[in-house]
């Protein structure tokens, strides 16, 4: 009797294992994926987005970016949309810990260029047509070559940009 009960129990367990319905896989939610890609060979542009030339007597380099962080990202219907009047999809944390309002660097998203920076569900973005993207950087870390007494020396620059930065640790 024990042998039959055990066999029956085993058979029922196996049957129930195969008869269970799996939960349907949740459909992936559509998202806007933001990647900050830095192209060191891109044509230099001025503040109007037109090609810029270096003034005589000046020099420039094409830095190799290691890390980058943004403070603000806005989608604007056109170039005449006032700052802040478009669809603001990201704003980094800010603090007044050091006095004036500042970007709170310790909580910033610092990523390698080309890595997914943000993934924003499309349901969280107002429907519309956006022709312009406004992005305000808060941090850049890049490699350059500087020259001293005719010697080329590699260096790394950590640059905090934006209106103010509060840096607790780095």
pLDDT in tens, the chain (170 residues): 444 443 333 334 444 444 555 666 667 899 999 999 988 788 888 877 789 988 999 888 888 999 999 999 999 999 899 999 999 999 999 999 988 999 999 999 999 999 999 999 999 999 999 999 999 999 999 999 999 999 999 999 999 987 889 988 87
CB contact set of 17 (below 8 Å; sequence gap of 6+): none
Cα 74 to Cα 132: distance, rounded to the nearest angstrom:
8
DSSP 10-78: HHHHHHHHHHPPPPPPPPPPPEEEEE----TTSPPB-TTSSB--PPTT------EEEEEEEEEEEEESS
What pLDDT is stored for residue 24 in this prediction?
60
Task: Say if residues 57 and 50 touch (Cβ distance below 8 Å).
Answer: no
Say what the alpha-carbon torsion angle 36, 40, 45, 50 is, to the nearest 10 degrees: -90
Cα 145 to Cα 156: distance, rounded to the nearest angstrom:
8
Say what the alpha-carbon torsion angle 126, 129, 131, 137 is, to the nearest 10 degrees: 10
What pLDDT is stored for residue 11 in this prediction?
39
How many residues would you count in the chain?
170
What pLDDT is stored for residue 16 in this prediction?
45
Cα 132 to Cα 54: distance, rounded to the nearest angstrom:
26
Residue corresponding to tokens 């559509």: 30
Tokens representing 31 are 């998202």
């Amino acid at each position: 009797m024990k042998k039959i009960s055990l066999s029956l129990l085993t058979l029922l367990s196996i049957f129930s294992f195969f008869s269970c319905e799996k939960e349907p896989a949740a459909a992936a939610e559509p998202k806007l994926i933001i990647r900050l890609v830095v192209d060191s060979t891109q044509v230099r542009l001025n503040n109007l987005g037109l090609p810029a030339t270096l003034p005589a007597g000046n020099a420039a380099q094409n830095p190799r970016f290691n890390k980058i962080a943004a403070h603000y990202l806005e989608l604007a219907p056109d170039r005449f949309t006032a700052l802040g009047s478009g669809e603001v999809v990201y704003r980094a944390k800010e603090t007044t810990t050091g006095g004036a309002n500042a970007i709170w660097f310790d909580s910033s998203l610092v990523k390698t260029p080309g890595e997914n920076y943000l993934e924003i569900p499309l349901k969280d973005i107002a429907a519309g047509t956006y022709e312009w993207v406004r992005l305000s950087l808060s941090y850049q870390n890049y490699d350059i070559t500087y020259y001293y007494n005719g010697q080329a020396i590699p260096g790394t620059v950590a640059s905090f940009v934006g209106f103010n930065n509060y840096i607790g640790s780095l």
